[in-house]
A = this chain, B = another copy of it.
Amino acid sequence: MDKLHVVKIGGNVIENQETFLDFLKDYAGLKGRKILVHGGGKEASKIAKKLGVSVKIIGGRRVTDTNNLDIITMLYGGKLNKNIVAQLQALGCNSLGLSGADGNSILAEKRPIKSIDFGFVGDLKEVNHSLFNLLLKEEISPVCCALSHDGNGQLLNTNADTIAASLASAMTPYYEVHLNYCFEKDGVLKDIDDDKSVLSSMNKMQYNLLKSKGILHTGMLPKLHNCFKALKEGVRFVKIGNPKMITENGSYTLITN
């Protein structure tokens, strides 16, 4: 089976232009089939402020009303996605940007309203593996932004970590899939106050133990949840680390069952 790298790059990395260009060079140099999933970063809030659109964050999550969705669509689907693709083309990597609506690549449903209405936020339903297979066979690397659609004309703001994990899982019948979560740290930290306390690996038992002790950064919990889910669904390797980890020189935590 051929290898497929699914690489998620976080907003914090995207914001530092130098680090990000460096990452894109490494990514373009990564051999074989690959898919890039990118987050957004803080520019959405900056643009919202300039446009006079109010931003509401509840429990660390953005409430996505129509105006905020427009901003996200402009920024993630437009400016970020198109510039990433243009840079990758310049680096010799034939890539193609996708929102979930494009080629019906990622279908979701609007999150049901419980205690809080998060607005136009999508819970993932289905990845269109045929489209990804079509592009990958032609050596075209998809670049996915954090937008899905509901099939009824509505775009939905969708967690990029979850998109990466679901994409990775969906491609396991066709490829040996490697899922890489790149962010601003060197991996999962044993001590959140010590950036050097990187775990070289972590299994489900250790995860449960650290979680019960309240030692893990709360932001890591959904990411790790996605990792274990992906492993369970047949993804071969899952790593969390700094952007350099897609080369031989990076630091990361290997997540295992």
Contacts and interface: CB of A to CB of B under 8 A. Distances in A.
A85 interface: yes
Given A82-B101, A82-B147, A90 B51 contact: no
Interface in A145-190: 147, 149, 151-155
Contacts of A198: none
Interface stretch (A67-75, A111-119, A233-241): A67-75
A61 interface: no
A95 B98 CA distance: 11
User: How many copies of the polypeptide does the oligomer hold?
Assistant: 2
Contacts of A51: 47, 50-51
A19 interface: no
A74 to B, nearest CB: 4
Contacts of A95: 102-103
| Interface of chain A, main secondary structure | helix
A104 interface: yes
A101 B78 contact: no
A23 B13 CA distance: 41
Interface in A77-135: 77-79, 81-83, 85-87, 89-90, 94-99, 101-104, 131, 134
A89 B95 CA distance: 22
A248 interface: no
Given A52-B50, A77-B82, A103 B94 contact: yes
Contact of A78 (B75, B90, B151): B75
Contacts of A81: 77-78
A74 B76 CA distance: 8
A83 B94 contact: no
